[in-house]
């Protein structure tokens, strides 16, 4: 598999299986109305498996299943079983909001899924309701218990920290993760899409997150085995476990970004903050061979030059500043993070 124009290989594929979600998190789906991908335009599980197989043959080692909320798509364990059996895949994970996890954890585990990332931005039920606009914290905690019972390991907690919303949860979430032996990942609020009213003032940066934690716990930076991993890892020096910070706004990591995304309607997207994707579904449904599809994917990756978060930081530090609305960007709901 060729590298892109910045010498980055394609190793990590995020597969969105739906643009639908049972939550309306304010930093991802703040709008009331959405026009969904029509069912006939969604890739079938067979089509997803075929494309995923081609990406793995081209060098992809890690696959993450995302959405929208992937657990709202029926019989997801069927797809997981197929992905888990792909020769050459080294890591298969899923990102979920956890609301449907209690009823699906066992089937997903039996299908070969080993690890899960669970989105959890607060432990306060009222605040949870305000952030998700539809969800119940108790459902998510039941889902987490089921995942722990089924032996998913690791279970990582993803927490998006937004100023004025949940920066006061930084320490309570850490205490919760330490008590449960979970790996917490704090995520800086990003301007993915154009709907979430992102402003730099709302970003609680990595330095501030670390300072807040250091006031409460002894910390030390952990060895970074995989430089392409978006999270910078730390340990609680008192043996309380580990956590990470995904600082794409204040400390962008585009230079090591080996991630591509496949949308639920079959578009290859080269960057989380891209304006558009490249349609693979029409080729696939027009009868393209595996070889033709692999040549198209390799060709698209070879042209890739995306480094949006680095460009955003330069703009933020420039006299003219950065205007997020000036850049048309695909919404998180179709990219799945």
Minimal distance, residue 251 CB to ligand SF4, in Å: 11
Is 148 strand, coil or helix?
helix
Q: If binding means CB under 6 A, how many residues of this protein chain bind ligand SF4?
A: 13
Minimum CB distance to ligand SF4 smaller for 95 or for 212: 95
Per CB under 6 A, does 308 bind ligand SF4? Answer: yes
Report whether 95 contacts 337 (CB < 8 A).
Answer: yes
List the interface residues with ligand SF4, window 230-249 (CB under 6 A): 248
Kindly tell me which of 15 and 271 has the beta carbon lying closer to ligand SF4: 271
> What mask, x for binding ligand SF4 by CB under 6 A, covers residues 246 to 285?
--x---xxx--x-x-----------xxx------------
Q: Counting contacts by CB under 6 A, is residue 198 touching ligand SF4?
A: no
* 245: nearest Cα among 185, 162, 200: 185
Site for ligand SF4, residues 318 to 337, rule: CB under 6 A: none
3-state secondary structure of 189: coil
- Residue 296: CB minimum distance to ligand SF4, A: 20
Supply φ then ψ for residue 183, to 5 degrees: -95, 120
Do residues 62 and 257 make contact, with C-beta atoms less than 8 angstroms apart? no
- CA 124 – CA 135 distance, rounded (Å): 12
Q: Is 187 in the site for ligand SF4 (CB under 6 A)?
A: no
Least gap, CB of 253 to ligand SF4 (angstroms): 5
Shortest CB 12 distance to ligand SF4, Å: 10
Q: How far is the CB of 242 from ligand SF4 (least distance, A)?
A: 22
Give the residue, chosen from 81, 178, 307, 329, that forms a contact with ligand SF4 under the rule CB under 6 A: 307
64 vs 178, beta carbon nearer ligand SF4:
64
In angstroms, what is the minimal distance from the CB of 271 to ligand SF4?
3
Nearer to ligand SF4, 137 or 273 (CB): 273
* Residue 252 beta carbon to ligand SF4: minimum distance, rounded to whole angstroms: 6
- Kindly give the pairing relationship between strand 242-246 and strand 155-161: unpaired
Three-state SS at 180: helix
Q: Which is nearer to ligand SF4, 36 or 322 (CB)?
A: 322
Instruction: Could you list the beta-strand ranges (E) of 164-263.
Output: 183-188, 219-221, 232-236, 242-246, 259-262
* CA–CA gap between residue 38 and residue 264 (Å, rounded): 10
Query: Residues 22, 101: contact at Cβ < 8 Å?
Result: no
- Using rule CB under 6 A, residue 72 touches ligand SF4: no
Q: Would you tell me the crossing angle of helices 45-57 and 76-84 to the nearest 10 degrees? A: 20
Q: What is the DSSP string of 267-284?
A: EEES-TT-S--EE-HHHH
* Burial class for 278, CB neighbours closer than 10 Å (0-12, 13-18, 19+): middle
Interface residues toward ligand SF4, by CB under 6 A: 248, 252-254, 257, 259, 271-273, 306-309
């Amino acid at each position: 598999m060729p590298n892109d124009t910045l010498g980055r290989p394609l190793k990590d594929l995020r597969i969105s299986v739906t643009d639908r979600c049972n939550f309306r998190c304010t930093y991802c789906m703040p709008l009331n109305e959405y026009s969904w991908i029509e069912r006939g335009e969604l890739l079938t599980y067979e089509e997803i498996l075929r494309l995923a197989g081609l990406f793995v043959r081209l060098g992809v080692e890690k696959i993450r299943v995302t959405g929208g909320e992937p657990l709202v798509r029926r019989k997801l364990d069927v797809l997981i079983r197929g992905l888990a059996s792909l020769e050459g895949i080294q890591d298969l994970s899923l990102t979920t909001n956890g609301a449907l996890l209690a009823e699906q954890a066992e089937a997903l585990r039996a299908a070969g899924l080993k690890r899960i990332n669970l989105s959890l931005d607060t432990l306060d039920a009222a605040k949870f309701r305000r952030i998700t606009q539809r969800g119940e914290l108790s459902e998510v905690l039941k889902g987490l218990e089921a995942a722990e019972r089924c032996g998913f390991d690791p279970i990582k907690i993803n927490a998006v920290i937004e100023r004025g919303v949940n920066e006061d949860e930084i320490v309570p979430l850490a205490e919760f993760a330490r008590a449960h032996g979970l790996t917490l990942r704090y995520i800086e609020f990003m301007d993915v899409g154009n709907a979430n009213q992102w402003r730099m003032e709302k970003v609680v940066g990595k330095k501030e997150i670390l300072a807040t934690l250091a006031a409460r716990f002894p910390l030390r930076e952990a060895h970074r085995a995989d430089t392409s991993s978006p999270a910078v890892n730390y340990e609680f020096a008192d043996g309380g476990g580990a956590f990470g910070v995904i600082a794409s706004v204040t400390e962008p990591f585009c230079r090591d970004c080996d991630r591509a995304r496949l949308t639920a309607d079959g578009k290859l997207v080269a960057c989380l903050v891209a304006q558009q994707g490249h349609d693979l579904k029409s080729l696939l449904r027009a009868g393209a061979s595996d070889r033709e599809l692999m040549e198209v994917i390799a060709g698209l990756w070879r042209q890739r030059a995306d480094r949006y978060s680095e460009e955003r930081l330069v703009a933020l530090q420039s006299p003219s500043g950065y205007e997020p609305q000036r850049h048309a960007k695909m919404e998180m709901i179709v990219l799945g993070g």
